[in-house]
Amino acid sequence: MAQLRGRDRARYVARMFTRISRRYDLMNTVMTAGRHYAWRHRACRLAVGSLSGPALDVAAGTCDFAFDLARIPAVTRVAALDFAPAMLRVAARKARRQGLSHAVDLVAGDAHTLPFADDTFICATVGFGVRNFIDQTLAIRELARVVRPGGRVAVLEIVRTDEEGAWGRAFPRLFGSVAPALGAVFAGEREAYTYLPESVDGFASALQLASLMEDAGLRIIANRRVWMRSVALLVAQKPEN
């Protein structure tokens, strides 16, 4: 996987999420001891703040982020976009079970070319998606484009920690051995959960991710770290006109 670039990498990622779609939620719970739900709740609160109107979740997958947004009374409607239809099919079943089908529009599409007009949403969220994008600069610019002035972009992502002391250096080695083993046992998918730590190795630190967001014209308003500092929660605001 490490050698794949551009469209080949995007195809590989889409096929991988198609394969693991039915085990994806279980694996998140196993790998984070169930903490991933709380991280998205927190990100949603920070993303919406005191705004009201429609919200967007990109790389929505099985839509836990989108459903959290939809439960916030100030959020009038949620668009949840992903390029793996199999993930959205799991999301559609969950939406019916949770009584949220009316509030969330599932959209098959690519994060690099969002099918929405400029300044549409009060906020855009991305949970564990940016690392998978083939052009992170372009995708973050797209998020900034579709958010209203004064609106917010929230990114939750596993980041590189290798320059952050002993634990930071130890984490990638630990993650690189534990994730594939858990993937093999709980999802029958060693390959996908080998890709996961590899994709973090090739990704950004929290500081670099914040810079990408600032380069897209956004201003960082919250910068938090959870799960032994390996997961960053960054929230940024689009300047008012």
Ligand X SMILES: C[S@@+](CC[C@H](N)C(=O)[O-])C[C@H]1O[C@@H](n2cnc3c(N)ncnc32)[C@H](O)[C@@H]1O
Instruction: State the minimum distance, in angstroms, from the CB of residue 166 to ligand X.
Output: 28
Instruction: State the minimum distance, in angstroms, from the CB of residue 144 to ligand X.
Output: 16
CA distances from 200 to 24, 135, 194, 203 (A): 18, 15, 10, 5
Instruction: State the minimum distance, in angstroms, from the CB of residue 135 to ligand X.
Output: 9
Q: Which of residues 177-196 bind ligand X (CB under 6 A)?
A: none
Q: What residues form DSSP beta bridges with 154?
A: 125, 235
121 near ligand X, judged by CB under 6 A: no
Q: Residue 132: in which H helix or E strand, if any?
A: none
171 contact partners, CB below 8 Å, separation of at least 6: 161, 162, 228, 230
- Strands annotated E in the chain: 53-58, 75-82, 104-108, 121-127, 147-158, 219-226, 231-237
Q: Smaller CB distance to ligand X: residue 24 or 171?
A: 24
- Note the Cα 150 to chain centre separation in Å: 21
Instruction: State the minimum distance, in angstroms, from the CB of residue 110 to ligand X.
Output: 4
Q: Smaller CB distance to ligand X: residue 150 or 184?
A: 184
79 near ligand X, judged by CB under 6 A: no
Stretch that binds ligand X, among 46-54, 90-98, 124-132, 147-155 (CB under 6 A): 124-132
83 near ligand X, judged by CB under 6 A: yes
Which residues of this chain interact with ligand X, rule CB under 6 A?
10, 13-14, 17, 59-61, 64-65, 82-84, 87, 110-112, 127-129, 132-133
